[in-house]
Structures are given as C-alpha cells and as structure tokens.
Amino acid sequence: MPIVAPFQDGFRRVLSTPLVLLGTWLLTVAVALPLGLLLRGELQVTLGETLASGVATDSIVWDWWQRFAGHTSGIGRLFIPPLVVAATVLSDLNRLVNGDGLALIVGTITAIYLVVWTFLAGGILDRYARNRPTRSAGFFSACGVHVTRLLRLTLLAGLAYAVLLGVAFNWLFDGVNAGELSPTTEGRSFAIQSLASLVFGALLAGVNLVFDYARVRTVVEDRRSMVGSVVAAWRFVRRHPVACIGLYAANCVVLVSTIALYTIAAPDTGPTWLIFLTGHAYIMARLVIMLWFWASEVSYFQSQLAHASYVASPQPVWPESPTAEALGRLK
C-alpha cells in the first residue's frame, strides 16, 4: 500500500529527532503546568481538604463542575470538563469579548503558545523534510524564514474553521433541532443527528487535511503565497485522495487508540509520582503522534516529487530548499 512506507518513515523521522520532541514537551509543560497548578489551587480553596476535592480531581462529575464554576472567582471559571469542547470554546470566547480578566490572561497565554508553536513548526517541518541533522543554527534559521508565512496560513485556517462552525455547523444542527428535516420518531431523529455529526466531522477533517499539506508545501517548496499553498494542497489531495486520506486515517487510529489506552489504564489513585509519570508519558505520546502526523505527510509528499511539475530542480541556496535535496536524492 502507498501509505505504509511514509507512515513508517514518518515515525523513523520523529525518533531521529529527540531534541525536537524534548523541546516541544518542555514548551507544552511550561504552559500547562502553571495553569494546572492554578486550577488545583482553586479546587483546594473552594473545597478545602475534603473528600469532594479528591473526587473532583479523580473523575468528572458534571453537576459538581457546574456548581464549582458558578461559585469560584478564580481561574476555575475558565475550565470545564472536556465532554463539551465546543461549548467550552464558545464560553471562553464569550468571556473574552465581555472583558473577563482571567479569560484574557488565559487567552493571552494560549495565543503566545500558538505563536511559539507556529514559529517552531517551520523548523520542525524543515528538519523532517531534510531528514538529516541541521544543527541549531539551521533549525532556527528555518523557523525565522517560515514563521510569518505560517502565521498567515494559520489565519487562513482560522477563517476556514470559523466558516465551518458559523455556517456548516449551524446549517446542519440547527436544521435538525428545528425539525426542518421532519424526523417523525426519536430513533430517526437520533440517526439524522448522527449523520449530521459524521458529515461535520468529515468536513472538519477535510479542512484539516488540506491545511496540513498547505503547511508542508509552504516549507518544503519555500512558498511565499499562502493562498497559493492552500490551492496547491487542495490539488495535491485531489490528485491522491486515497493515499492522503488513508495516511491521515492511519494516524487518527493511532491517536484514538492512545487516548483509549490512557483512559483505561491511567491510575485514578495511587502514589503521586506514578500519576505524575503516567500523565507526562501521555503528554509525550500525544506529542509523538502529532509530530508523526507532520513527518508522515512530509514523507509522502516528498515521495511524489517525481511528478512532472517538479522536473526542474531549483538551484540550492542557503538555506537551501528541502525540495532541492529531495529531488537530488531522486537522481
């Protein structure tokens, strides 16, 4: 199968760059740890040393979380269990618009985190594309070259997701809830809602897939126009739909399996060090999978560089394009 080689090669590329993995883990912990400690403090202040505080940290009790968010005055107002992710996002955005100070702080931290991630993404993708050590100077040079382009691409992606949430989501689910599709039975209504969820999920995954390859093409081909990158990525996915979707699905299977394994095996109680290590192992696994997504997509795209539109090898200049290196290896 055409996806097996890039799937395996992507994993090898991730394992060959332990410093990249370490750096992304440190960045994630640097952002998540302070927020987690603040939330833990809110729980202790609200509950004290009671049985409920242990239950709240070990499992999710939705009614209790609602009462907690309504009574606390700290950062705990911004956190609700991830069972309703979309509602959480909308709730936090509403707080930002209304000038909630704590929401503004968390939003600022999140924005900084995303900007730093976008900065590092250029160097990470460049490193995976070259598939050889570039040292810190080459890595951060690639970060600097691509950061403004990838930020513009991120804004385009945000616009696309906003259209999905504001138009497609409302059209699909408001129609179901308003009865425009005329479900006559409870079972039929559930089936229609499930179908709407599948359609929306497919649209979301499709947009994500196109922007993944737009990011890859931006770095690998040293593209300047982000609109051009998106169009080129769409054309690439359209030319290779089975392989692109299959590779994306294979990575999603790994992600879902990891989440399920953690949900089943993660200790609810026990020594603090065990819970701590398990949590950080899970964070590391999620980062490996995310980078595996990137590396496998880079590998697959580069495997198709023998296409007729790439026969003219560009003249390498420093920092030389990964496309030039890939084409050189094909000769």
How large is the average pLDDT for residues 284-302? 95
Give the pLDDT confidence of 85-109 residue by residue, as tens digits: 344 444 444 544 455 555 666 677 7
CB 153 within 8 A of CB 229: yes
Give the pLDDT confidence of 37-87 residue by residue, as tens digits: 666 655 555 555 454 444 444 444 445 444 545 555 444 444 444 433 344
Tokens of 319: 């920092």
Q: Which amino acid is residue 275, in one-letter code?
A: I
Tokens of 155: 């804004």
How far apart CA 210 and CA 219 sit, in angstroms, is 15
Concatenating the DSSP letter of every residue in 234-299 gives HHHHHHSHHHHHHHHHHHHHHHHHHHHHHHHHS-SSS-HHHHHHHHHHHHHHHHHHHHHHHHHHHH
pTM equals 0.74
HSE of 58, CA atoms in CB hemisphere, 13 A: 10
Tokens of 292: 């595996």
Q: Which three-class secondary structure state does DSSP give residue 185?
A: coil
Of 140-149, 185-194, 260-269, the least confident? 185-194
Tokens of 122: 């250029």
Cα–chain center distance at 115? 13
How far apart CA 294 and CA 10 sit, in angstroms, is 8
How far apart CA 80 and CA 91 sit, in angstroms, is 10
**Residues sharing a CB contact under 8 Å with residue 21, sequence separation 6 or more, in sequence order:** 14, 284, 287, 288, 291
**pLDDT reported for residue 76:** 44
How many helices (H) and strands (E) would you count in the chain?
A: 13, 0
Q: Which three-class secondary structure state does DSSP give residue 1?
A: coil
Owning domain of residue 326: 4-330
Residue 305 has pLDDT above 90, yes or no: no
pLDDT above 70: percentage of residues in the chain: 64
pLDDT above 90: percentage of residues in the chain: 41
Give the pLDDT confidence of 123-181 residue by residue, as tens digits: 999 999 998 888 888 999 999 999 999 999 999 999 999 888 888 777 777 655 555 44
- CA of 319: how far to CAs of 51, 215, 226, in Å? 59, 18, 20
CB 297 within 8 A of CB 10: yes
Residue 275 class from Cβ within 10 Å (0-12 exposed, 13-18 middle, 19+ buried)?
A: middle
Tokens of 47: 């509950």
CB 305 within 8 A of CB 330: yes
Q: Give the count of beta carbons closer than 10 Å to the beta carbon of residue 172.
A: 19
The closest alpha carbon to 290, from 11, 5, 2, belongs to 11
Residue 293 has pLDDT above 90, yes or no: yes
Tokens of 97: 């618009």
**pLDDT reported for residue 70:** 52
Number of domains in the chain: 1
Q: Which three-class secondary structure state does DSSP give residue 178?
A: coil
Tokens of 294: 């990137």
